[in-house]
């Protein structure tokens, strides 16, 4: 059974940093890209970024709203994906979801339960 478990969320002041982790199990982690999405309270879904699997270069892409502030990385030996968030803004307050990416098919097929990030002074 595919499982994705996010951790590392919390309350942080504007301008500070936070790192989310996504622990994966139930599939060969290194074979898949991983993507992060977020959902602000009461709002819709927003793509944050993704990292391709190593066979596809292990490269990353980001939404314009987070580019230059957020960094996605992966440790295939531990089956963990990370979302490093720097320079957090109040508008980054959201539930952040880790997902498994079907890279060549254009969708995500499994979602974690989400990690809440609250940016407030």
Partner 1 sequence: DIQMTQSPSTLSASVGDRVTITCRASQNINLWLAWYQQKPGKAPKLLIYKASSLESGVPSRFSGGGSGTEFTLTISSLQPDDFATYYCQHYNNYSFFTFGPGTKVDVK
Tell me if 50 contacts partner 1 by CB under 8 A.
Answer: yes
Which is closer to partner 1, CB of 107 or CB of 121? Answer: 107
Tell me if 40 contacts partner 1 by CB under 8 A.
Answer: no
The minimum distance between CB 36 and partner 1, in angstroms, equals: 10
Which DSSP letter does residue 8 get?
-
The minimum distance between CB 20 and partner 1, in angstroms, equals: 15
Name the 3-class secondary structure at 18: strand
The minimum distance between CB 120 and partner 1, in angstroms, equals: 21
Which is closer to partner 1, CB of 79 or CB of 114? Answer: 114
Tell me if 33 contacts partner 1 by CB under 8 A.
Answer: no
State the burial class of residue 34 (Cβ atoms within 10 Å of its Cβ: 0-12, 13-18, 19+). Answer: buried
């Amino acid at each position: 059974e595919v499982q994705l478990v996010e951790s590392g969320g919390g309350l942080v002041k504007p301008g500070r940093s936070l790192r989310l982790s996504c622990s994966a199990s139930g599939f060969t982690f290194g074979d898949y890209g991983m993507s992060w999405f977020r959902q602000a309270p009461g709002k819709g879904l927003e793509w944050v970024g993704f990292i391709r699997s190593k066979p596809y270069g292990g490269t990353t892409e980001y939404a314009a709203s987070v580019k230059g502030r957020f960094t996605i990385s992966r440790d295939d030996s531990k089956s963990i994906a990370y979302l490093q968030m720097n320079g957090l803004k109040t508008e980054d307050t959201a539930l952040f979801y880790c997902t498994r990416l079907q890279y060549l098919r254009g969708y995500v097929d499994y979602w974690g339960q989400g990690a809440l990030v609250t940016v407030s002074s």
